[in-house]
Homo-oligomer: A and B are copies of this chain.
Amino acid sequence: MSDESDQELGITRSKEYETGEWYAELVQKAELADYAPMGGFIVTRPRGYSIWERMQSSLDGWFKDTGVQNAYFPMFIPEGFLEREKDIVEGFDPEVAWVTEGGYDELEERLAVRPTSESIIAPFMSQWTRSHRDLPLRLNQWCSVVRWEATETKPFFRTKEFLWQEGHTAHADSEDAWDETMTRLDQYRRLYEDVLAIPPLTGRKPPHDKFPGAHTTTTVEALMPDGKSVQGATSHYLGTSFADAFDITYVDEGENEQIAHTTSWGLSWRAMGALFMTHSDDQGLVLPPTVAPEQVVIVPIWQDENKNDILEYAVEIETELADAGVRVHLDDRENRNPGFKYNEWELKGVPVRIEIGPNEREENEITLVHRPDGETETEQRAGAVETVESHLETVFAKLYASAETTLQGEIREATSRDEILGTIGQHGGYVKCGWCGNEGCEDPIKEAIAAEIVMVPLDRDEDPIQEECAICGEAAEETAYFAKTY
């Protein structure tokens, strides 16, 4: 890095006009990821991975607080096991990577690198579930999965291998399984809202877009700045379809054999893609303090004659913040001027910069600059910890409010097919309208502008339904949210 010019370090593309190119540049220049030599694969660099670790840590803690146990299942699934799922689940046709040779021998049966683990986990859930006392059984694993889809690589959004967690649970009845489905959906929503500073929509997928074999697929949808919707996580109520196929039964209190109801739910590193895409700008990465590798960077501004004094003052503040648990970095590099440092830490998304020059030192002050909007305030040095914490909260609130405003402005109503096409065509975003419930009414929208029904609200009362389906004019059964998708 050190031999490159400032210009090469910075982002050269425009988020507004060249979103795809801007994103690709952002991910590489902010040192989040690199492209692997094989198409479709990426390397997650330490700065990117540490953000994933913080997201993991939040979600994993919530899972454990609500009865989930982590486990680890093999990364390979014999072809016969996948076939079993294919037999029972219409529409299940995973494009997977196949292991056909081990050592110097051809394998007798091909092994799929897991695209998702229902078919290897369900047989064990069957073994471990004997009595009602074994339920609920709540398993989760953090792992990588592979889906051999031939699309252009977009780091964290579209990669052949991706990191995720997959939860798999079994319950005595449908009510308990539905509660589970909602608990996980709510935890995903909370991750977006409280950790990523992104207000999402939550709802369920239309029946024709459910996870194969699911009774209901619920989804967290996040709006991206280019007006497209990202499916940010899904939580499936599977009914008894997997339990039937894999014999997940139990003996109830009356000694009768019963079939279990199951769920599965997953969040992938795509959530990280949504995070980077939502808040960042033409200067580089913007991160909420919740997940930022460094929450605060201190940049001292010295001349030869006051260097030691300034540095001493900066170190004191750094120590005080670090002792209080703030993730702080003091950039005391000799060979870089303050302007270079500002640019570099803006590119890397540090939420708050503290500038310390002769004035700050003389007046016993610190100057704080907010990454998202450059707002600058000079505050008393005394009580620096509380001051910094309050500024970090303000930065989070700014990011959230900005995303919230964008979202609210991007939900529009329409009452006809042409209006749907025109509105999404012109503005992007979501269009909500009455829908009869037939997949056929999605087709003309899909064909014309590649937008689809990304969700219908879970609670009909909250969102009054138009009387007629905007496409066919028959009676509306639902409110559909149309959008283009990632």
Contacts and interface: CB of A to CB of B under 8 A. Distances in A.
A448 interface: no
A78 interface: yes
Nearest to A107: B97
Nearest to A110: B101
Interface string A23-55: 000000000001011100111111001101100
Interface in A298-341: none
A70 interface: yes
A37 B98 contact: no
A169 B111 CA distance: 33
A97 B95 CA distance: 19
A72 interface: yes
Contacts of A103: 95-96, 148-150
B133 A113 contact: no
A258 interface: no
Nearest to A47: B69
Nearest to A123: B37
B73 A43 contact: yes
Contacts of A172: none
Among A72, A95, A113, the most chain B Cβ lie within 10 Å of the Cβ of: A72
A124 B44 CA distance: 11
Contact of A45 (B71, B78, B99, B102): B71
A423 interface: no
Given A37-B81, A161-B76, A124 B43 contact: yes
A101 B100 contact: yes
A74 B113 CA distance: 13
Interface string A116-152: 0000100110010011011000010001101011100
Contact of A49 (B46, B71, B97, B131): B71
A75 B144 contact: yes
Contacts of A43: 71-74, 124
A362 interface: no
Contacts of A149: 103
B76 A49 contact: no
Given A50-B69, A69-B46, A41 B76 contact: yes
A135 to B, nearest CB: 12
A131 B1 contact: yes
Contacts of A42: 74
A472 interface: no
A104 B98 CA distance: 9
A1 B250 CA distance: 11
Interface residues of A, number: 59
Contacts of A123: 37
Interface string A1-22: 1110000000000000000000
Contact of A99 (B37, B98, B144, B150): B98
A163 interface: yes
A3 B71 contact: no
A148 B100 CA distance: 12
A72 B98 contact: no
Nearest to A4: B130
Contacts of A53: 70
Interface string A249-293: 001000000000000000000000000000000000000000000
Given A1-B131, A103-B95, A131-B1, A75 B161 contact: yes
Contacts of A148: 102-103
A44 B72 CA distance: 5
A75 B127 CA distance: 30
Among A42, A76, A127, A144, the most chain B Cβ lie within 10 Å of the Cβ of: A76
A104 B95 contact: yes
B74 A161 contact: yes
Contacts of A2: 130-131, 133-134
Given A2-B130, A37-B78, A103-B149, 4 more contacts: A3-B131, A38-B78, A99-B113, A102-B148
6 contacts: A1-B130, A3-B130, A3-B131, A43-B71, A46-B139, A97-B99
Interface of A: 1-3, 34, 36-38, 41-46, 49-50, 52-53, 69-76, 78, 81, 95-104, 110-111, 113, 120, 123-124, 127, 130-131, 133-134, 139, 143-144, 146, 148-150, 160-161, 163, 251
Q: 8 tightest A-B contacts by CB?
A: A46-B69, A95-B103, A98-B101, A102-B148, A103-B148, A44-B72, A41-B74, A2-B131
